[in-house]
Structure 1
Amino acid sequence: MHWWADGGIEGVMVSRLHPETGKPVCLKRDTCYVGEGDTHFATDSAHLTAHARKNLHKVFTQKDVFGYAVYGHTDSRASHAYNRGLSKRRAAAVANYGRSVGAVIEQQYGFGETRPRATNKTAAGRKANRRVEVICYRW
């Protein structure tokens, strides 16, 4: 195992062997799912909705995926500490669902409001920032 850093995120790199050849491989990393916070969670909640579970089941049962990372994000309406905690709880809820269906969750992290996709000055921008991203590591 080796220590790695990628874009401000650090972790432990595990050896990955291709299941058919047994040789070490690098995985392809892509964002395979972005779920809007408003349809996945009630306001100020980290409890997954039925809609979210249905969508996440499709994501976490893909056959060509070696592992997943889950990142939680919020808008900027509350304090940094509160947003960080909420995003961590939401990432944990999604990651725990993934684990419950047999997915390998390599990383989960709550960014709070630190990585916005849009402005927090409009309702539409804040809505875009409330999200959970699932990153897939593929062969």
Structure 2
Amino acid sequence: MKVAISSTGKELESEVDVRFGRCPYFLIVEIENKEVKNFKVIENRAAMQFGGAGMTAAQLVANEKVDAVITRAIGPRAFSVLTQLGIEIYQGSGKIKSVIEKFIDGKLEKITAPTGPMFTGKNI
């Protein structure tokens, strides 16, 4: 299973970024047999985009063939793109390493609707 996590940095010790579309990085984590097997960092090209950052970010992680996304907040456009592609979205906060453990243990809440309005990402 591959999971994309909105991140403030490039390490598993980084924090989950509150913003999906405007986070600086995504950590793409591969999980096998309830363990992290590998991860890579991709820079979020949409972070400084004037508009449509959520949709661009959603397409970016979808291109990585992820099964799920973990973030703190997600707008309606990104939510729509991900759900249409069958990518599940979960809410998590804190250190990424800890959030991954909670995900593996089934302790993260699934996001079933957008958690914020459009056009607020730059101001959070």
Report the TM-score, using the length of structure 1 for normalisation: 0.31
The structure that has the greater radius of gyration is 1
Kindly indicate whether structure 1 or structure 2 has the higher relative contact order, using CA contacts under 8 Å at least 6 residues apart: 1
Please identify which structure carries the higher helix content: 1
Report the TM-score, using the length of structure 2 for normalisation: 0.33
